[in-house]
Amino acid sequence: MKIAVLFYHSVYDDEIRAMLDRLECARYVEVPTAWAQDGSDRRFGTHIYPGTDSILTAFLEDRCAEALVEAVREFQRGKQKEHTHLAIVAADTFV
């Protein structure tokens, strides 16, 4: 079992959800509005720093974690999607 943590611009919520639906293997929790700083790019939901990020935490079987990594790499190749980040960690215990 793996835990995936995915950070991305909130404007891509629908695309990210569609990607997870295609994988058909993720149980996830989404935090739809998070403030973010990525290098010099700030998204604090204000008129000075517009936009926000979303955070998604998914619990995945190992095979699905590999599929998610590949799907996110493909997603990152799109315009303005370089600020999408994914971390996969082992889940020692999942109940």
Tens of pLDDT, residue by residue over 6-54, are 999 999 999 999 999 999 887 899 998 988 887 778 889 899 988 899 9
Rounded mean pLDDT of 77-93? 86
| 4 or 94, greater pLDDT | 4
pLDDT of residue 86: 96
The total domain count for the chain is 1
Residue 95 resides in a domain: no
Residue 12 belongs to what domain range? 2-90
**Amino acid 95: pLDDT:** 83
Q: Answer whether residue 36 is part of any domain.
A: yes
pTM for the full model?
Answer: 0.83
> What is the CATH number for 6?
3.30.70.120
Contacts (Cβ under 8 Å, ≥6 apart) of 21: none
d(CA 63, CA 52): 30
pLDDT for the residue numbered 77: 87
